[in-house]
Amino acid sequence: MAAGPELSTTYTDLLLEMKGPLVENYPKYSVLLTELQRNTDRKNFVGTSVRVPIIRNVKQGTGAVAESGTLNIARNIRTQYANIPLATVTHAVQISKRLKAISEEGVASWAQAMKLEMQLAEEAMPRVTNEYLHGTGTGQLAGFASGATSATQSLNACNVYQLYPGRVVDILDNSTGAAVIAGVEISTVTDTGSGTATVVFASSFTSTTGKGVYIEGSQPQTTNYAPQGFTQATASSGTFEGLTIGTDWQAVDGRNGDTSAADLSISIMDGMIRRRGRNGTPDSSFWTGDYACIQKFGQTLLTQSRWDGAMGQLKSGWQGIQYQGEVLVPDYDAKANRVFAVPKDDVQFYATQPGPDWDDEDGNVFKRFSRSLPVEAWLVDEFNLGFHRLNRIVYADNLNQAA
């Protein structure tokens, strides 16, 4: 580094250099982040939203005619467009300017501190993003099995992997977004199986079945504030991307209404593959879901068939159990007790940029506020998932987990 006084640009340049590995490694966190690569083409953007084409079903109008017969009339494509807003996901890093002032190697010490911050951001941002991609579009992580006034709470509809000691969450009213308690830390977690858990929080509060555990900063009462996710897209009722869910705008229940608990088996997989085909098979797809459910499938395949334990691999390098040419890649963030198909032709990851970037809209990467000495830098990512079709997404719920 050249000799001379250190300027504010010195530290800004360091942050810009550190952003590179974060952007590069961001999509490597999960199979969804890898396979659903970002589309940053601005022609899809309309103001602050993205224009998403929707296809309702296979195009009609095909048929045989006699040698001198009349062709079928040209049928209109049952298609339309939805405008979905871009969601904004942020992560703030904070550091004291005193660090570089009191250290003999000021720039080096400051850089090492920022390097650690960036390494942890590289873990945290894609992890939360993956939660959104699998989620309900609200940021909810769990519900309450019953009401209680205690630091110890019984949770349901949760993925226990996402509820780890030290995590900070908000307890909010599901409909109004009113905070029961904001920014509360999880102390301990006990997995009680099948999407339930007993969690001890750092503070006591009163829960009811109309409240939930949310990603910190969530606003469930605000429509479309959070990125869309596969649990939201596979709902059996409600509205999604401006259309009422039902008939041709609905994901396929691969078990055809069977809600009994069952192992993921050859017969269930066969049923899901068969039911997906009714609406046309996508050119490119894979399966993902609850890690323990896919493990259970591998264990039962050993006895149901002559499977030798060999793994299938996607072009991106992710490996999983292969069955009839289909690859099942487990994901820690997937909804508990569920496996589903991801038709890559029908889902698009829209984003304004290749990955998170420093916010410098005011001309500075570093932010100082409230007359305090520490400074912050804000990583900002803008993206959303757009779904073109729902009826080629097939899922199976109420699957048993491996021990």
Which spans in 149-200 are helix H? none
Tens-place pLDDT, residues 198-235: 999 999 999 999 999 999 999 999 988 999 999 999 99
Question: Both 204 and 269 in a single domain?
Answer: no
For residue 9, what pLDDT is reported? Answer: 56
Distance CA 138, CA 232 (A): 9
Residue type, 236: S
**Number of compact structural domains in the chain:** 2
Q: Between the ranges 54-58, 61-65, 158-162, 357-361, where is the mean pLDDT highest? A: 158-162
Q: Which of 305, 320, 345 is the last residue of a domain?
A: 345
Distance CA 356, CA 381 (A): 4
Tens-place pLDDT, residues 313-371: 999 999 999 998 899 999 999 999 999 999 999 999 999 999 999 999 888 888 888 88
Instruction: Return the CATH number at 162.
Output: 2.40.30
Q: Which of 157, 187, 215 is the last residue of a domain?
A: 215
Side-chain half-sphere of 29: how many Cα atoms within 13 Å?
23
pTM of the model: 0.90
Question: Both 267 and 337 in a single domain?
Answer: yes
In the three-class reduction of DSSP (H, G, I as helix; E, B as strand; rest coil), residue 347 is classed as strand
Does a structural domain hold residue 90? no
For residue 14, what pLDDT is reported? Answer: 73
Question: Both 145 and 200 in a single domain?
Answer: yes
Question: Both 208 and 282 in a single domain?
Answer: no
Task: Give the residues across from 366 on adjacent strands.
Answer: 377
**Span 271-281, mean pLDDT?**
88
Question: Both 265 and 340 in a single domain?
Answer: yes
Distance CA 7, CA 384 (A): 37
Q: Per-residue pLDDT for 6 more than 70?
A: no
Does a structural domain hold residue 355? no
Pairing, β 38-39 against β 347-351:
parallel
On whether the CB atoms of residues 217 and 140 are closer than 8 A, the answer is no
Does a structural domain hold residue 290? yes
Q: 187-191, 258-262, 284-288, 311-315: which range is least confident on average?
A: 311-315
> How would DSSP label each residue in 295-339?
HHHHHHHHHHS----PEEE-TTS-EEEEETTEEEEEETTSPTT-E
Does a structural domain hold residue 82? no
**Span 35-48, mean pLDDT?**
88
CA-closest candidate to residue 84, choices 214, 217, 229: 229
For residue 306, what pLDDT is reported? Answer: 63
**Span 377-382, mean pLDDT?**
94
Question: Both 333 and 271 in a single domain?
Answer: yes
Does a structural domain hold residue 98? no
Mean of the per-residue pLDDT values for the chain? 89
- Does residue 251 or residue 56 have the better pLDDT? 251
Residue 199: how many CB atoms within 10 A of its CB? 23
For residue 43, what pLDDT is reported? Answer: 83
Tens-place pLDDT, residues 122-146: 999 999 999 999 999 999 999 998 8
Does a structural domain hold residue 202? yes
Question: Both 341 and 277 in a single domain?
Answer: yes
Q: Between the ranges 46-50, 75-79, 239-243, where is the mean pLDDT highest? A: 239-243
For residue 7, what pLDDT is reported? Answer: 40
Task: Show the domain range for 321.
Answer: 252-345
Residue 251: how many CB atoms within 10 A of its CB? 23
Distance CA 261, CA 56 (A): 31
Does a structural domain hold residue 129? no
Q: Which of 298, 325, 345 is the last residue of a domain?
A: 345
Does a structural domain hold residue 79? no
For residue 3, what pLDDT is reported? Answer: 40
